[in-house]
Amino acid sequence: MNICLVSREYPPEQGGGISTYIYNLAHGLQALGYKVFVVSSTENESISFEDRGVIIYRIKRPYLKFLSFLEDIFPLRAFLYSIDVAKKIRYLELSENIDLIEFQNWYAEGFWYLLFKHTRPVVIRLHTPYFEILRIKNLIPRIKDRLICWLEKTAVKKSDFITTSTVFHKTFMSNEYNIEPDKIKVIPLGVDVESNDESNDESNDTYFNPGDDKFNVLFLGRLEKRKGIDVLLEAIPYVIGQKQEINFYLVGIDKNEYFEKEFKKRYSNRYENSVHFIGYVGKPQKENFLRKCDLFVAPSLYESFGFVYIEAMRYGRPVIGCNGISAQEIIEHNKSGFLIPPNNVEALAKIILELFDDKVKREKVGMEARAKVKLQYSREKMAEATATFYTSIFK
C-alpha cells in the first residue's frame, strides 16, 4: 500500500504534537513495509527529499506581499496552501499510485482536495480544533476565525473516514460536529520507546548541572493558558517558599515572552535562580530535559491526546496532568502518574511538594509509567493499529 500523509508540520522545520505524530507514524508504517509519502510545508523554497525511507515533499507556503491586507479578514494563505496541497496529491496519485491519503484537521489543509470528487479514500485525523483554541483563550471570533473553523469542519465532514486518539476527544468532536460516534475510530498515539539518538550524549546538556542536587521540575510545551502554564506559575512561589531546593524549567515557545515578562514584572528577580524560561529547543535538548528531570508537569486544560505525557513517561518520569480531559485515559492516578483538578493551584503545589519528599514513590510511579508506554503507547503499536485500520478500508 502506498500511503500519503499530509501535515503542515514535520520535523525538524516544525515542532509540536502533530509534527511528532506524523514523524512517528510515517516511520512506523515504513518499518512495516509500506511506501510512505509526506506532504508538508516550508517557509523556504519547495523541495523533496528522502528521510530514512520516507519521501518528503515540502511545499512553500504562499507569500501574499500585495494581498496581505486580506489576511486580516480571510485565511487566504491557508486557503491557497490547501490548493497547492491538492495539486501535489493529484500529482502523486498519478506518479506514485497513492492508495490512501490522511489529512490532519488543523487549518483544513485537505479542504480543497475534499471539495471535489476523489478516487482515493481519505482519512482525517482529529487533533485540537481551531474553535477550541478560541474558547480556551476567551477570544471573540473574528470573521477570519469563523472561516477557519468552517473550513476545518467542512473538510472533516467531507472525509471518508475519521480517526482520533482518545475516547474523550471522539465524544467531544462527535458532539461538536454532529458526527455519528461510530464513524470515528480511536487509535492512540505512540512514541519511539527505545530511541537511542544523539540526545543521550551528555555534551548536549547545557542546562542541568551534574553536580547540582536540585530537584528539577519540567514543563514542556507552548506557554499558553490551554497548557496550564498560568496555573503552574501561580503554584511556583508557594512551592519554592516551602522548598528552595526545587528548580523549574519552562521549555517551549512563549509568544512575545508574555508569561516570562508577566512573571518577572510580578516577582522581579526573586526567583531568577529557581525559575528558568528556556524557550524553544531542538529535539536533542528536549530529550535531555525529559531524561534528566525529576518530575514532569503539564496541567493542561485541554488536550486531544497529551503526547507530551507519554514522551516523559517513556523515560520513567512521574507526570502530573489534569482530570476531565484526555490525560485521564493515559495517566492512572497514583500508579502511572498523578491527576489534579483543572485550574487548581493548591492541588498542583501540594502534589509537587509531596513528590519532592518521596523519592521511593517517584521512582515506583516512574517505572509504572514507562511500562505502560511500552505496553500501550509505542510507535510500533500505533503503526500496526493504523495499518490494520487502513487495510480494513479496502475490504
pLDDT band of residue 213 (cuts 50, 70, 90) is confident
Q: What is the pLDDT of residue 72?
A: 78
The grid coordinates of residue 336 equal: 502511572
pLDDT band of residue 206 (cuts 50, 70, 90) is low
Cross-strand partners of 338? 320
Q: What is the pLDDT of residue 199?
A: 46
Q: What is the Cα 231 distance to its own chain's centre?
A: 20
Tell the burial category of 116 from Cβ atoms under 10 Å away from its Cβ (0-12, 13-18, 19+): exposed
101 — phi, psi (to 5°)?
Answer: -125, 135
pLDDT at 148 over 70: yes
pLDDT digits (tens, 9 = 90+) for 222-250: 999 999 999 999 999 999 999 999 999 99
249 — phi, psi (to 5°)?
Answer: -115, 120
Q: What is the pLDDT of residue 198?
A: 46
Q: What is the pLDDT of residue 205?
A: 58
Round to whole Å and give the CA distance between 125 and 106. Answer: 9
Average pLDDT, the chain: 93
Residue-range domains of the chain with CATH: 2-190+378-393 (3.40.50.2000), 198-376 (3.40.50.2000)
191 — phi, psi (to 5°)?
Answer: -125, 155
